[in-house]
Every structure is written in structure tokens, then in C-alpha cells.
């Protein structure tokens, strides 16, 4: 049995911790507030950007999984010190540093996104996201740590509860048979990464030295438009055809006056206004994990949201 440290307990951190615990590993989860213990999971309350305290939590671990996701409007302030602490903990403990990344660092790209593209983002969030990996990679190449970044497209599936994309703003309305509004062009092809596959890739990359020293894209099914994804959810839910509308730019503009999230999303709206396709063939040709079939994703997502509704009723 090995010790894994998971920093952050949002959807990806929680899924990763529970997967690792289910495989018999000892898991330590680090968050600011802590939580009650779960089977196989110890929850520690500490500031993960404190290098000394995080290094203490990582002592004896084989891997440190960086899954913390500060609110978008706090990335510039919070991600750099968090990255410094993660790298310091990996160096002191000897644990593999497994970073959960996304696609912001590439910036707007014509054609499919592959891992060999330059991190050429011009927006603030994209630059910060790129700097996280560039720091870890430099330390890896210097022989001071072992690091890997696992990049995902927009999360989809059980446990994804945020207000953006195909989560809290969409799935409950689909279950009720009501129209939904989505960001950008509802017919543009888009990659959606299934959350359990994110956890699977983080666990696999931690354990296979062939992964270390570079970035990988999580196995993800073929791109589908938001309209097609809503139709798939509706079919799984048995709620019939659902009207899908584009959120008017004026509504986004007004919302951004009061919502920090909407203000930050303006920088990345290019991901929804045109095709945004992630290529995960490099991972799939090297490792074992494969993307969960889309029908299974729809079924599990509907079941999870219905269970959540019953608990909260």
C-alpha cells in the first residue's frame, strides 16, 4: 500500500482520492478547511501554498496530485505560490508531482490540440496556467523532481457541479425537460472530458515512469457539440427533445458586471465560439486507460444528478 497526497477536493480531487483509496492506497487530502475522514482517506486542514506544511503532509508519499482549483479570478494571485509549494513538497519528499492541467495554456489554435503545441496563450489565465507546467518541467529537467502534467478538456460527468458548461446550469434543466442556454455556438464541435477518466489518468500517470517529464491529454471521446451532448443526456433521462439556445452576448455582458466567473470566462469564449477539439491519441497509444463510452457517461451522469436531487429533496 502506497501513500498518495491529493491537494484539493473539488470534483477532480475527490474523484482521484476515492479512486486511489478504492485501490487500497492510503490517501491524504489537503484542503484549507479539512473534512471528516472517509474510508481510506485522511483529510488534513492546511494552506497548501505553505511549503513547509505541505512538505510535511507529503512525507512518505509516492505521489502528490495537484488538483486544487482556485476561483478563476484568483488564479494570478494563488496559482504561482501553490505551484512553488507543490514543487517544494515533491522535491523534499521524492514523490512524483502529478499536476492536473487544462487547455488554457495553448491559447486559440486552428485545428486539434496536441501536447506538442507551444504554450502560446496571450490571456492572463492561459499564461498563468502555462507557467505552472513550465516551472515543474524545468525542475524535472534539472533532476530535482519528477513531474507530469495531465491535461483535460471541460469536465463532464458525475460530481461536476459548477455553474458552467454541462453541469449545474444544464443537467437539472435537462432532467426537468426544460430549455437550456449554453456558452458560444451550440453546434460547434467541442471536447468534453469525463471526470472518472481524469481520475484514472492521474492515477496511471503517477505510477508509470514513462509518463514523467511531459504533458498528456486525458483520454477523451470524439468531440460533440453542446446540442448533441444535451440530446444525449435527454435520451438517457427519457425527457424528450430539449431546446438548446445560445446565451446572448448581452446577457453575458450584464452578468459579468456582478459575476467574477463570467468576467473571467470572456477570455476563453473562443473555446465555445468555434471548434475546440483535444487530441488524446498520444496517451491512448502509450497507456492502458481508455475513454469511457459516451452512452455510459450520459447514463452515469443522469443517475448521479437524480441521486443528488433525491438527497437534497
| Distance (Å, whole) CA 133 – CA 130 | 6
The grid coordinates of residue 60 equal 512518505
| Distance (Å, whole) CA 176 – CA 8 | 32
Cα Rg, the chain, nearest whole Å: 19
What percentage of the chain has pLDDT greater than the value 70? Answer: 94
Rounded mean pLDDT of 32-57?
96
| Distance (Å, whole) CA 184 – CA 158 | 23
Orientation angle between helical segments 11-22 and 195-207, nearest 10 degrees: 60
| Distance (Å, whole) CA 57 – CA 176 | 44
pTM for this prediction = 0.95
How do residues 173-218 score in pLDDT, each as one tens digit?
999 999 999 989 999 999 999 999 999 999 999 999 999 999 999 9
Superfamily of domain 3-153+194-219+279-294: NAD(P)-binding Rossmann-like Domain (3.40.50.720)
Rounded mean pLDDT of 263-292?
92
Q: In the structure, what pLDDT confidence band is assigned to residue 73 with cuts at 50, 70 and 90? A: confident
Looking at residue 163, its pLDDT comes to 67
| Distance (Å, whole) CA 254 – CA 98 | 38
User: Tell me, what DSSP letter sits at residue 111?
Assistant: S
Tell me whether strands 154-156 and 146-151 are parallel, antiparallel or unpaired.
unpaired
How do residues 82-119 score in pLDDT, each as one tens digit?
999 999 999 999 999 999 999 999 999 999 999 999 99
CA atoms within 13 A on the CB side of 36: 0
Strand (E) positions, 22-62? 26-31, 41-45
Rounded mean pLDDT of 279-290?
98
The grid coordinates of residue 209 equal 515512469
Given a cut of 80, whether residue 263 has pLDDT beyond it is: no
- Other C-beta atoms lying within 10 Å of the C-beta of residue 282: 15
β-bridge partners, 113:
278
Q: What is the mean pLDDT of the chain?
A: 94
Taken in order 71, 76, 82, 86, is the CA torsion positive or negative? positive
How do residues 214-260 score in pLDDT, each as one tens digit?
999 999 999 999 999 999 999 999 998 999 999 887 766 666 666 67
Residues 6+ apart with CB under 8 A from 10: 67, 68, 69
- Residue 205 exposed, middle or buried by CB count within 10 Å (0-12, 13-18, 19+): buried
Looking at residue 252, its pLDDT comes to 66
Given a cut of 50, whether residue 313 has pLDDT beyond it is: no
| Run of H or E residues at 215 | strand 215-217
Q: Residue ranges per domain, the chain?
A: 3-153+194-219+279-294, 171-187+224-276+296-312
User: Tell me, what DSSP letter sits at residue 291?
Assistant: P
Amino acid at each position: 500500500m502506497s501513500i498518495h497526497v491529493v491537494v484539493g477536493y473539488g470534483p477532480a480531487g475527490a474523484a482521484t482520492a476515492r479512486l486511489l483509496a478504492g485501490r487500497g492506497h492510503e490517501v491524504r487530502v489537503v484542503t484549507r478547511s479539512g473534512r471528516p475522514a472517509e474510508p481510506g482517506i485522511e483529510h488534513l486542514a492546511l494552506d497548501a501554498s505553505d511549503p513547509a506544511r505541505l512538505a510535511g503532509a507529503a512525507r512518505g508519499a509516492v505521489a502528490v496530485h495537484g488538483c486544487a482549483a482556485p476561483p478563476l479570478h484568483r488564479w494570478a494571485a494563488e496559482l504561482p505560490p501553490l505551484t512553488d509549494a507543490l514543487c517544494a513538497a515533491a522535491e523534499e519528499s521524492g514523490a512524483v508531482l502529478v499536476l492536473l492541467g487544462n487547455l488554457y495554456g495553448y491559447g486559440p489554435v486552428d485545428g486539434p490540440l496536441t501536447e506538442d503545441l507551444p504554450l502560446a496563450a496571450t490571456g492572463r489565465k492561459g499564461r498563468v496556467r502555462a507557467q505552472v507546467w513550465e516551472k515543474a518541467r524545468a525542475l524535472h529537467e534539472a533532476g530535482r523532481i519528477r513531474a507530469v502534467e495531465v491535461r483535460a478538456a471541460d469536465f463532464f460527468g458525475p460530481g461536476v457541479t459548477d455553474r458552467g458548461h454541462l453541469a449545474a446550469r444544464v443537467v437539472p434543466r435537462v432532467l426537468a425537460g426544460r430549455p437550456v442556454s449554453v456558452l458560444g455556438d451550440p453546434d460547434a464541435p467541442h471536447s468534453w472530458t469525463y471526470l472518472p477518466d481524469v481520475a484514472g489518468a492521474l492515477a496511471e500517470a503517477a505510477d508509470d515512469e514513462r509518463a514523467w517529464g511531459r504533458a498528456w491529454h486525458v483520454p477523451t471521446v470524439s468531440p460533440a457539440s453542446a446540442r448533441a451532448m444535451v440530446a444525449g443526456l435527454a435520451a438517457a433521462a427519457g425527457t424528450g427533445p430539449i431546446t438548446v439556445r445560445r446565451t446572448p452576448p448581452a446577457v453575458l455582458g450584464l452578468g459579468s458586471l456582478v459575476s467574477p466567473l463570467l468576467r473571467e470566462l470572456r477570455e476563453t469564449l473562443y473555446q465555445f465560439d468555434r471548434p475546440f477539439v483535444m487530441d488524446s491519441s498520444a496517451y491512448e497509444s502509450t497507456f492502458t486507460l481508455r475513454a469511457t463510452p459516451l452512452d455510459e457517461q450520459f447514463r452515469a451522469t443522469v443517475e448521479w444528478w437524480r441521486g443528488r436531487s433525491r438527497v437534497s429533496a
